[in-house]
């Protein structure tokens, strides 16, 4: 009797749940599938509005056009560079700051924490930021994309709560064994907070990868623009066509747009499953107070 | 002693010649929104920009922000900094208010004293194009004219006209058009035995409101001086009449019932579907052609007659595509202007419309013959950077160059667009008043128009209310300022 009541693998409700989950999974995949199929279809057929589940008239034309454009590669290079360098730098700065601010005996700790919270709530806006970047002679350099994102008050607040939860006795014993603060930070605090650090790392990396406005505002030279800017340009190009002139005869096709979107999503799609296990653990940050 | 002087003189000569060599290519930076296919090349490093440098001695550096929707933000940020580019591009629906604002803030250079030195520029640009670049009586920008100054055209399906035996020449009055559209809906012009045809397909969005075929025939397309006030077109009783007519088309199923929500993309799907008899768009209809459709399947028609029998027009917003303003910090405005002056010469014009000899065209017996695979390539880039002049499409060399790009039928449509096009001139020439920037005077009109056409509001019951509300929300101030301007221009 008991067995019947518990949910077996063959029960109707179990199947219903599986069906619902599969349905939602398919819903999530459809946009990607659409983009992929369109990018591999014959551009002329796409323009005429034909779309099937499988590519119509398989063609690599869009990708040939894409790889011909040096801006895709320069954009990809910049984006990868800012993501890798920017993320490492941000993680270093933010964990170090949070670790220090988690120490209540630090002189001025309360004031510093309040200053961090202040920047969480108030900021100067685009033009003052632009002036700062300009005066630091960072305009038109990749550092304009990396340095302003080095510090993020929200991430620091998250990390502070995580570091504060580490037992003080751990540190004391390390100190007795002769470790200094730097060693405790790098050998004890960071490894113990790995889920939180990995989450922050993923936040920062995804933000670096997706960030659009700084590339638009701080970068003038087209060969220094990150890939997202190039992507948005391509997507907007078709909307511009009729307003400019009836003479532009090769309107960028939908095929081209989908090819770029797919090519640029691919690295993150491949990377995500490997980082996901950290991501899920990381979301528990602060859920349990010890 | 003598030797020393000689060496000094020689050194001086060397320095002078060196600096002369360096000054040969004047550097000019221009903030632009060039969002067209550059065939994979850098906007600052391609055959075309090198040709411009070779011809004009000016090394242009485009600070190009191609993400159009974010361009205004970039423009505002850069103009707020203390490092202005030499010139900036002002584009889109906000170009005139941008010009007024930047000029008011003292960031733009008045050009009136300089312009007379540039004969090509002065000769090639129409007075109305200049008028739009003025603020407070001074010229602050160079207009980049559309070569089709008024691009709208109405197209009908040729096979439907033939199936119903309608001669497009016979379309004269609004009633003639109405009868034709009614037959499009009721007499099954596509011959499939199913009642699935519509008269007009259109979209509604800002300047691209494509229901404007009839508006001028009702006398509702232009501002008008009535009882001591200069009224915008949408406050006139004529506009009310037009709305009533459009509502009739909508309720009788002639106007596509979903026009209100359709995007431009949906519009072209519908045009290609063959279920709609008429649409209005830019005469170039690139979107239509890019769907693999043939221009010869359409008939371009002139606008209907007004009630008094005179010919109406297709009224467009502006003869300019965009404009370029020179900033106050520009050390060398002469260089910038001389580049655009060159663009107005015949050499510049051929470069604009045909491209580079060898790369884009060949000279055969002195005639320009475009390479088949280069037609339309890079044109957008040249238009946006140098497209100041409006070429005379009826004369050589432009006639043959354009004909090679568009075909004979395309040229016919271009000429019709130029013949039957017009502007809402009083509104166009009326200066922009910075006092009005805090009011939204456009959205309420669009909303009211859409609601009346779709029958959500009854025009007779709501009209007075609409006028009153628009006037009280900043409209009265606009009318007052516009009327004052009108009186200084036309009174006495």
Q: Is residue B410 part of a domain?
A: no
Given this model, what pLDDT does residue A17 score? Answer: 92
Same domain (yes/no): B285, B164: yes
Same domain (yes/no): B217, B106: no
Rounded to two decimals, the pTM is 0.79
Given this model, what pLDDT does residue A238 score? Answer: 58
Q: Long-range contacts made by residues A48-52, C-beta under 8 angstroms, separation at least 24?
A: A48/B272, A48/B291, A48/B292, A49/B269, A49/B272, A49/B291
Of all residues in chain A, the percent with pLDDT exceeding 90 is 34
Q: Is residue B16 part of a domain?
A: no
Q: B160 falls in which pLDDT band (50, 70, 90)?
A: very high
Using CA of residue A277, residue A278, residue A281, residue A284, what is the dihedral sign?
Answer: negative
* DSSP annotation of B330: -
Angle formed by the axes of helices B379-386 and A227-244, nearest 10°: 80
Question: How many angstroms separate the CA of residue B69 from the nearest CA in chain A?
Answer: 8
Question: How many angstroms separate the CA of residue B37 from the nearest CA in chain A?
Answer: 7
Domain termination residue (choose one: B396, B424, B443)? B396
End-to-end CA distance of chain A: 41
Q: A32 falls in which pLDDT band (50, 70, 90)?
A: confident
Q: Is residue B340 part of a domain?
A: yes
Cite the DSSP H helix spans in chain A: 2-5, 12-39, 43-47, 61-68, 70-101, 109-121, 126-135, 143-146, 153-164, 168-176, 181-183, 190-192, 194-210, 213-218, 227-244, 254-282
Query: Hey, are the CB atoms on B35 and A47 less than 8 Å from each other?
Result: no
Q: Measure the CA–CA gap between B200 and B156, rounded to whole angstroms.
A: 9
Same domain (yes/no): B324, B389: yes
Same domain (yes/no): B167, B276: yes
ipTM over 0.85: no
Given this model, what pLDDT does residue A249 score? Answer: 43
- Answer for the pair B340, B115: CB distance below 8 angstroms, yes or no: no
Same domain (yes/no): B113, B185: no
End-to-end CA distance of chain B: 79
Query: Which of B42, B73, B286 is closest, CB to CB, to A251?
Result: B286
Q: Is residue B1 part of a domain?
A: no
- Name the token pair of A262: 């797919």
Same domain (yes/no): B137, B45: yes
Same domain (yes/no): B28, B113: yes
**Which 388-407 residues of chain B touch chain A by CB within 8 A?**
405-406
Same domain (yes/no): B276, B392: no
Secondary structure class of B195 (helix, strand, coil): coil
Given this model, what pLDDT does residue A96 score? Answer: 94
Query: Hey, are the CB atoms on A247 and B67 less than 8 Å from each other?
Result: no
What is the per-residue pLDDT across B454-482, written as a single tens digit (0 to 9) for each? 999 999 999 999 999 999 999 999 999 99
Average pLDDT (B198-204) is 87
Q: Is residue B420 part of a domain?
A: no
Question: How many angstroms separate the CA of residue B265 from the nearest CA in chain A?
Answer: 9
Instruction: Give residue for tokens 């941008």.
Output: B98
Whether A44 has a pLDDT exceeding 80, the answer reads no
Whether B311 has a pLDDT exceeding 90, the answer reads yes
Q: Measure the CA–CA gap between A74 and A78, rounded to whole angstroms.
A: 6
Higher pLDDT, A267 or A47: A267
Given this model, what pLDDT does residue B142 score? Answer: 94
Higher pLDDT, B372 or A242: B372
Q: Measure the CA–CA gap between A226 and B42, rounded to whole angstroms.
A: 14
What is the per-residue pLDDT across B104-153, written as a single tens digit (0 to 9) for each? 999 999 999 999 999 989 988 888 889 889 988 899 999 998 877 788 89
Secondary structure class of B443 (helix, strand, coil): helix
Same domain (yes/no): B243, B224: yes
Domain termination residue (choose one: B342, B372, B396)? B396
Q: A2 falls in which pLDDT band (50, 70, 90)?
A: very low
The domain in which residue B192 lies consists of: 152-312+433-490
**Which 291-320 residues of chain B touch chain A by CB within 8 A?**
291-292
Whether A220 has a pLDDT exceeding 80, the answer reads yes
Given this model, what pLDDT does residue B254 score? Answer: 93
- Name the token pair of B228: 């001591």
Q: Which of B96-105, B181-190, B380-389 has the lowest mean pLDDT?
A: B380-389
What is the per-residue pLDDT across B293-302, written as a single tens digit (0 to 9) for each? 889 999 999 9
Please enumerate in sequence order all residues whose Cβ is within 8 A of that of B57, keeping only pairs 6 or more positions apart, or say none.
Answer: B24, B25, B26
Same domain (yes/no): B50, B163: no
Q: Which of B391, B344, B425 is nearest to B131 (CA)?
A: B425
Q: Is residue B406 part of a domain?
A: no
Residue to substitute from B31, B33, B34, B66, interface A, most A β-carbons within 10 A: B66
Given this model, what pLDDT does residue A35 score? Answer: 86
Count structural domains, chain B: 2
Same domain (yes/no): B209, B342: no
Q: Which of A289, A150, A159, A144 is nearest to A207 (CA)?
A: A150
Same domain (yes/no): B114, B163: no
Whether A222 has a pLDDT exceeding 80, the answer reads yes
- Name the token pair of B283: 């005469």
Q: Is residue B4 part of a domain?
A: no
Which CATH number covers residue B176? 3.40.190.10
**Which 324-353 residues of chain B touch chain A by CB within 8 A?**
none
Domain termination residue (choose one: B350, B378, B396)? B396
Q: Is residue B127 part of a domain?
A: yes
């Amino acid at each position: 009797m008991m067995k019947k009541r518990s949910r077996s693998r063959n029960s109707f409700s179990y199947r219903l749940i599986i069906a619902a989950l599969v349905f939602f999974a398919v819903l999530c995949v459809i946009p990607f599938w659409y983009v992929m199929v369109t990018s591999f279809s014959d551009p002329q057929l796409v323009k005429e509005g034909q779309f099937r589940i499988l590519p119509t008239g398989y063609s690599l034309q869009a990708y040939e056009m894409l790889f011909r454009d040096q801006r895709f590669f320069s954009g990809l290079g910049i984006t990868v560079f800012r993501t890798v360098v920017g993320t490492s730098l941000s993680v270093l700065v933010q964990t170090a700051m949070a670790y220090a601010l988690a120490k209540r005996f630090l002189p001025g700790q309360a004031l510093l924490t309040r200053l961090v919270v202040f920047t969480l709530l108030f900021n100067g806006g685009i033009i003052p930021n632009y002036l700062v970047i300009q005066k630091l002679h960072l305009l038109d350099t990749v550092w304009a994309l990396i340095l302003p994102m080095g510090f993020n008050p929200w991430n620091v607040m998250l990390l502070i709560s995580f570091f504060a939860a580490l037992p003080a006795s751990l540190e004391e014993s390390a100190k007795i064994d002769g470790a200094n603060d730097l060693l405790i930070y790098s050998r004890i605090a960071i490894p113990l907070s790995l889920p939180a650090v990995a989450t922050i790392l993923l936040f920062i990396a995804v933000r670096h990868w997706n960030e659009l406005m700084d590339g638009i505002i701080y970068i003038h030279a087209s060969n220094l623009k990150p890939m997202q800017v190039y992507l948005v340009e391509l997507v907007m190009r078709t909307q511009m066509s009729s307003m400019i002139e009836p003479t532009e005869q090769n309107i960028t096709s939908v095929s081209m747009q989908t090819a770029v979107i797919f090519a640029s999503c691919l690295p993150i799609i491949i990377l995500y499953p490997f980082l996901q296990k950290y991501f899920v653990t990381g979301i528990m940050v602060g859920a349990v107070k010890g | 002693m003598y030797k020393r002087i000689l060496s000094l003189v020689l050194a001086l000569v060397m320095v002078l010649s060196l600096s002369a060599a360096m000054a040969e290519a004047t550097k000019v930076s221009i903030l632009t929104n060039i969002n067209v296919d550059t065939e994979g090349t850098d906007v600052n490093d391609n055959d075309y920009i090198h040709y411009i440098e070779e011809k004009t001695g000016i090394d242009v550096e485009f600070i190009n922000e191609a993400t159009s929707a974010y361009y205004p933000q970039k423009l505002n940020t850069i103009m707020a900094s203390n490092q202005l580019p030499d010139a900036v591009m002002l584009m889109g629906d906000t170009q005139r208010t941008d010009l007024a604002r930047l000029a008011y803030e003292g960031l733009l250079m008045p050009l009136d004293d300089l312009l007379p030195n540039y004969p090509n520029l002065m000769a090639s640009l129409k007075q109305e194009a200049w008028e739009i670049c003025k603020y407070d009586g001074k010229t602050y920008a160079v207009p980049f004219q559309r070569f089709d100054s008024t691009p709208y055209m109405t197209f009908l399906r040729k096979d439907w006209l033939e199936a119903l035996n309608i001669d497009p020449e016979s379309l004269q009055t609004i009633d003639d058009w109405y009868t034709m559209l009614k037959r499009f809906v009721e007499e099954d012009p596509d011959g499939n035995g199913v009642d699935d045809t519509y008269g007009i397909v259109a979209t509604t969005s800002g300047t691209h409101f494509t229901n404007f075929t009839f508006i001028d025939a009702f006398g509702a397309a232009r501002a008008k001086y009535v009882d001591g006030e200069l009224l915008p077109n949408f406050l006139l009783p004529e506009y009310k009449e037009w709305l009533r007519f459009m509502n009739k088309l909508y309720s009788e199923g002639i106007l596509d019932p979903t026009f209100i929500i359709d995007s431009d993309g949906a519009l072209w799907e519908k045009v290609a579907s063959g279920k709609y008899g008429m649409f209005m768009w830019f005469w170039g209809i690139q979107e239509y052609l890019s769907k693999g459709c043939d221009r010869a399947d359409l008939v371009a028609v002139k606008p209907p007659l007004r009630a008094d029998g005179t010919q109406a027009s297709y009224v467009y917003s502006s003869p300019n595509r965009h404009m370029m303003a020179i900033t106050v910090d520009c050390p060398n405005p002469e260089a910038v202007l001389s580049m655009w002056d060159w663009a107005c010469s015949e050499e510049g014009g051929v470069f604009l419309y045909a491209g580079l000899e060898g790369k884009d065209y060949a000279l055969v017996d002195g005639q320009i013959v475009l390479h088949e695979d280069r037609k339309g390539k890079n044109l957008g880039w040249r238009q946006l950077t140098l497209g100041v002049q409006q070429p005379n499409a009826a004369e050589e060399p432009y006639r043959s160059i354009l004909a090679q790009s568009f075909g004979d039928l395309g040229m016919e449509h271009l000429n019709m667009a130029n013949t039957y096009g017009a502007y809402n001139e009083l509104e166009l020439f009326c200066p922009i008043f910075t006092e009005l920037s805090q009011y939204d005077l456009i959205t309420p009109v669009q909303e009211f128009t859409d609601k009346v056409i779709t029958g959500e509001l009854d025009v007779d019951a709501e009209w007075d209310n609409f006028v009153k509300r628009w006037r009280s929300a900043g409209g009265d101030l606009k009318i007052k300022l516009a009327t004052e301007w009108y009186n200084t221009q036309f009174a006495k």
